[in-house]
Amino acid sequence: MTRTKEWGLQEPGRPLNTVNFESPSHTGTLLTGLNMLRAKGHLLDVTLVAEGEAFQAHRVVLASCSDYFRAMFTDAMKESRQSEICLNGVSAAGMRLLLDYAYTSRLALNLANIQDVLSAASHIQVVAVVEACSNYLQSQLDLENCVDIATISETYSLSQLRGVVYRFMCGHLVEFSRSAEFARLHPAQLEHLLACDFPVDCPEADVLAVTLRWLSHESHSRGCGWAVRLLRRIHLSQVSRWELEGVLRRTDQQLARLVLSEYLRQSRHRPLPALPSPLVNNRGMELAVVKVGGFGIGGITNEITYFLPSSGKWRHLTTIPHVEQCNFGTAVLHNDLYVVGGCFNQSLQENIHPFGFRYSPRRDTWATMAPMQQERCRFSLNVVADRLYAVGGASEVEEESVEGEGYSACECYDPETDSWESVAPLPGSCTQHAAAALHHYLYVSGGLDHDLDLNSMRRYNTEEDRWESRAPMLTPRVDHAMLSVGGSLYVCGGWCEDLDTGNRVLVDTIDRYDADSDSWHTVTHVPTPRYHAGIVTVNSIIYFIGGFHSDAMFDRATAVIECYDLDTDTWTTGEKYPQDIWEHTCVTLYIPRCRDDMQVIPFPSPS
């Protein structure tokens, strides 16, 4: 008996020099080989029968990609010993396409075959194909097929697709309700549409009207059971009395009586808060604190994040559609966020620009707006009587003089015409100031006049287009905030210059201005004085978010959030922002609760 010659490659004590080899084409080669065996009828060991049509296959291929067949062939089931298996409820067309997918990993989906494929994939539990069908239906969603896709999503328990469909219906409710498809909704589907927490594009009175119109349709006029259930999903406390009367005048008496009964029931047992003025309808919306831009450990950012009280987390909302910038103006009008002006670095040089953008949280879209007449940064942007006012700031255009005195250019934006026009200039040079609206006045406080910190308070009369001086603040402030709450103005944060040392001193008080008496008084002291913080008010609570808590060169930024309750005169400390932040702005916006955004990732503090 001969012995195979042994090569002396492996000597005692010599390292093995292992190399791991992996062929990237092996998977494709394996599938191609199996498909060729199937085409030639080799090694086939099972026959599937769907609608009387026979399909031969390899058990190992079926079991490898289908939970249904894996359980059938590996558990002690009678089918594991059968050579022919009948698949009831699976179409031949669907089975043919799924077998092609199993052997090739490719599948061509279209509106003609989607239901066959989805039905077969759901039956034999091919999860990847079910997900592909769901994604395909989502991409094809429109007003003409949304009811059918809703039915499909409910038939096959596709919860994600179902949510997308109903959010689409709600977001296009006005147009959808005018289509023939709306009448095809099953009562349970309309009930779910009214109950789901998605934003709608019309007032609640219109939601009531389209529901009554659906109930009046001849195919739905069968008893009052569904009518009662549907009407309980209408937020009738958000429908004014005159709106209700207008809707009921166009409704038959039986339905009108049911509406009135439900109106009384809700007003007794489920009073809802009054509808916030910026919103067409507050369905699915929640007031959020929104942080816009600024700086962090990673440098300048255009990111916008938000905090919903219901979730208790900071999440990413969107990004300003401009090169990374800072020192812009922000304002909210009709629940749209306006980001205007600012500056950015280019070749180590500061560039100031006049451009602006408008963000709609309901649509999650940005739109451009007409640029300001003058580029500016470190200015104030505020809303008075449905118009935006840009005041002062730094500009690359040197201001001229009016009768020998400097002034700060001001302009007004009309969203109806998408245009800016100049208004009376603010006397004196002014940057890094704060402003707030009260009635038809715009108040401007503090700031810098070149290197001089200001304690001034000026008021602009929007009806008469003129400025006037008011009582000065109790102390100069720069890089602070001014808030309008309950008929009073509050100045918060900021810094002033120490007259002896020339150093910055953080102002540690919140001061209140009474417009009727033209007087100031201190309300409270801030636990952590700061400047360049985001300061905003929500329901009489003032939030201080981030900023600089000292004028040191290092470790001066903070993520601390402190809250002052104006009603109870108390301070509380909230959970920190996930990162140290500064030179950002904060506003409040109503955000759809149904958003599923990434959380802001915490950065370790350098301190």
Q: Determine, yes or no, domain membership for 221.
A: yes
Burial of 80 (C-beta count, 10 Å sphere; 0-12/13-18/19+): middle
Same domain, 122 and 213: no
Q: Which of 246, 264, 283 is the last residue of a domain?
A: 283
The predicted structure's pLDDT at residue 132: 97
If you average pLDDT over every residue of the chain, what do you get? 91
Domain span at 77: 26-140
Count of domains observed in the chain: 2
550: pLDDT confidence band, cut at 50, 70 and 90? confident
* Interval 280-305 mean pLDDT: 95
10: pLDDT confidence band, cut at 50, 70 and 90? low
Q: Which of 248, 267, 283 is the last residue of a domain?
A: 283
Same domain, 136 and 209: no
Q: Is the pLDDT of residue 220 over 80?
A: no
Q: Determine, yes or no, domain membership for 416.
A: no
Q: What is the CATH number of the domain that holds 74?
A: 3.30.710.10
pLDDT tens digits, one per residue of 39-72: 999 999 999 999 999 999 999 999 999 999 999 9
* Interval 275-295 mean pLDDT: 88
Same domain, 110 and 214: no
Q: Determine, yes or no, domain membership for 8.
A: no
Complete DSSP assignment for 145-205: THHHHHHHHHHTT-HHHHHHHHHHHHHTHHHHHTSHHHHT--HHHHHHHHHS----SS-HH
* Interval 346-359 mean pLDDT: 92
Q: Determine, yes or no, domain membership for 37.
A: yes
Same domain, 37 and 134: yes
The predicted structure's pLDDT at residue 123: 95
Would you say 448 and 460 are in contact if contact means Cβ atoms under 8 Å apart? Answer: no
pLDDT tens digits, one per residue of 258-281: 999 999 898 887 655 555 567 889
pLDDT tens digits, one per residue of 126-140: 999 999 999 999 999
* Interval 399-418 mean pLDDT: 80
pLDDT tens digits, one per residue of 571-582: 999 999 999 999
Q: Determine, yes or no, domain membership for 116.
A: yes
Q: Which of 283, 311, 331 is the last residue of a domain?
A: 283
Q: Determine, yes or no, domain membership for 342.
A: no
Same domain, 31 and 131: yes
Q: Which residue has the higher pLDDT, 396 or 511?
A: 511
605: pLDDT confidence band, cut at 50, 70 and 90? low
402: pLDDT confidence band, cut at 50, 70 and 90? very low
Q: Determine, yes or no, domain membership for 55.
A: yes
Taking each helix axis from N to C end, the angle separating 127-139 and 159-171, rounded to the nearest 10 degrees, works out to 10
* Interval 76-93 mean pLDDT: 84
* Interval 521-549 mean pLDDT: 95
Q: Determine, yes or no, domain membership for 74.
A: yes
The predicted structure's pLDDT at residue 7: 61
